[in-house]
Chain A
């Protein structure tokens, strides 16, 4: 067995939008994820950052087959052998469900960040989204039943006593009170609800968990607790995380490697230190300058990105970042840059990566 757990190869996800639009019949296609390749090791946390709408959630859900990819492969090297999740049959997926889990930002879908058109495209699908096996806390179930669900659903345990014991064990680990197990989720604070989600995701001793904006809505002190908890659980259980967040400092703290997404594509993937201290892609660099530091003596000079983030339904040709890149040249709008390795484990998609000099003053 290699030390790679998940290998994503040329992943592609396409949504059909505006089916009942002006041009009836011809459904418009939105490629939310386009030709994404990367891997995740056993016991590793991979961070995924990028602006809202860039496709982070879609990557996470496609890997777990919570939605259907339209292309590419997702190789899962589990204990019971290798499986291409993107092409596996429903019954094969059902067997590994307990091993592949997801933790949402409590509160469900963040509709506020979807634009108008995207929101309209989304509404009819909402019920579907909430029904999928990874949806957030069901208000009518007790916390005990919520946490136990992955064990029951995957048929991993049938004995009630055994299930109770495992639920109590993981709940205690996630600092939930045993008293809490009999209650319903609405009675909990944001931090506690997040711990319930984590307990549920980890109860079946999974190999891989997608954490989508799991700490974004929390206060810093509670956020710090949850991050420490995830780190401890990873050490104990050897689980791998795909940690999606738009807060770069949080991602820096928890991840071993970090990927940056822009309009459906990865633009950079590197070990955390390299990505934050030696970014090679102009977009990564721009993102980093936009993070305000809690020290008034650290100069804050965010690089201005001109214009709006492009709509993935009308992605710019060539390099997708060329409409906002201060280094763009004619080649950038004509040709798509290759995804290539520039240092050990450091990948970048930019034509001019070798001549980048970010110290050049911003015009």
Chain B
């Protein structure tokens, strides 16, 4: 396998990336046998940058990012050649795939180094403690502050995420807040540990556009202020265009195209990316029939041979796409694509 992805406009050449994922494959034992919903995923991320991940439901977005925090259930297995390296706050390199379950290093990684926010805010909060108690507990665990100091910091974080009257809100329970406020409190909870990397899994999908705009704004500002890196999972390409610098498009467990957001959205190289972009309803083009991706997404237990997209691809090459897995092609400028249509271009140069 070639070329681990490196965005072009990173810092000095030669310095280690904050996060590097190579050959990430995840299998599950199920009643119907082994399935491998994530296969050979690779990407890298530098401090202060945002990677967007898009793809249809079931394409493996959540499974790949949960693997990064070792949050997968016991029935999950990482392949032997999976490598996930992360440079922590102290500048030490952690090999995530080697961390032992329940170890101190893993506890420090979760929350302290890598924070996560979920689509459903209630998943991160316990209903029986106040918002403040939960944020203060995180602050105690990951930043070693207690009592009045921790409370002060918690109030400050809440006000940073735009909660008005934070010193009163801090004593409320999660169910007493509106959906948008809960979402912002969850971001405050994740941020209170000052993680180096924040993974956001569909954080705005359930929100109204107005509140989504506030949350996106906020995440932008906080990132600039804290230099935090982000992985932003969403199926909304509009959100990707506004928040991410790089984007990875997933289909049936593999990244089929990756690169700077502007290039990928304006000149998509992979047939699936093209279909996906054409299917989005737009505000500036009305009365036009929406494009659809033909056929249905196969289940990961019946992944097609050769190129996994070939059953729906309108560009498939006879005798090639059904038999040979397309290799990763480096298109230059930090772009890569996994499609036979682009492969000859590389061998030509």
Contact = CB atoms under 8 A, between A and B. Distances in A.
B175 A296 contact: no
Nearest to A286: B210
Interface string A128-147: 00000000000000000000
A292 B242 contact: yes
B283 interface: yes
Given A112-B179, A287-B210, A302-B213, A249 B281 contact: yes
Contacts of B78: none
B286 A300 contact: no
Interface in B34-58: 56-57
Interface stretch (A86-94, A224-232, A331-339): A224-232
A293 B290 contact: no
Interface in A250-287: 250, 252-253, 272-273, 276, 286-287
B238 A221 contact: no
A109 interface: no
B283 A293 contact: yes
A252 B281 CA distance: 8
Interface in A336-350: none
A294 interface: yes
Given A113-B206, A115-B179, A294 B280 contact: yes
A20 B343 CA distance: 70
Contacts of B181: 308
B292 A248 contact: no
A294 B57 contact: no
Nearest to A301: B213
A221 B309 CA distance: 14
A228 B290 contact: yes
B276 A252 contact: no
A291 B236 CA distance: 11
Q: Main SS of chain A's interface residues?
A: helix
B236 A292 contact: yes
Contacts of A227: 281, 290
B217 A220 contact: no
B283 A249 contact: yes
Interface in A93-117: 112-113, 115-116
B213 A290 contact: yes
A287 B209 contact: yes
A296 B178 contact: no
A296 B280 contact: no
B290 A253 contact: yes
Interface in B242-291: 242, 261-262, 265-266, 275-277, 279-284, 286, 288-291
A116 B292 contact: no
Interface string B155-181: 000000000100000000001111111
A29 B330 CA distance: 63
Task: Give the one of B208, B214, B217, B284 with max A CB within 10 A.
Answer: B208
A231 B214 CA distance: 33
Interface residues of B, number: 50
B217 to A, nearest CB: 7
Interface in A199-238: 219-225, 227-228, 231
Contact of B275 (A115, A221, A286, A296): A221
Contact of A294 (B206, B213, B238): B238
A296 to B, nearest CB: 5
Contacts of B279: 220-221, 223-224
Interface string A302-318: 10110110000000000
A3 interface: no
Contacts of B164: 307
Given A113-B179, A296-B261, A308-B178, A253 B281 contact: yes
B179 A295 contact: no
Contact of A224 (B214, B242, B291): B291
Contacts of A247: 209, 281
Nearest to A324: B210
Task: Give the one of B283, B284, B293 with max A CB within 10 A.
Answer: B283
B284 A293 contact: yes
A291 B208 contact: no
Given A228-B289, A249-B282, 15 more contacts: A112-B179, A219-B235, A220-B279, A224-B290, A247-B209, A249-B238, A249-B281, A250-B281, A291-B238, A292-B238, A294-B277, A295-B265, A296-B262, A300-B242, A302-B210
5 contacts: A221-B292, A253-B288, A272-B286, A292-B242, A295-B265
Interface of A: 51-52, 112-113, 115-116, 119, 189-190, 219-225, 227-228, 231, 246-250, 252-253, 272-273, 276, 286-298, 300, 302, 304-305, 307-308
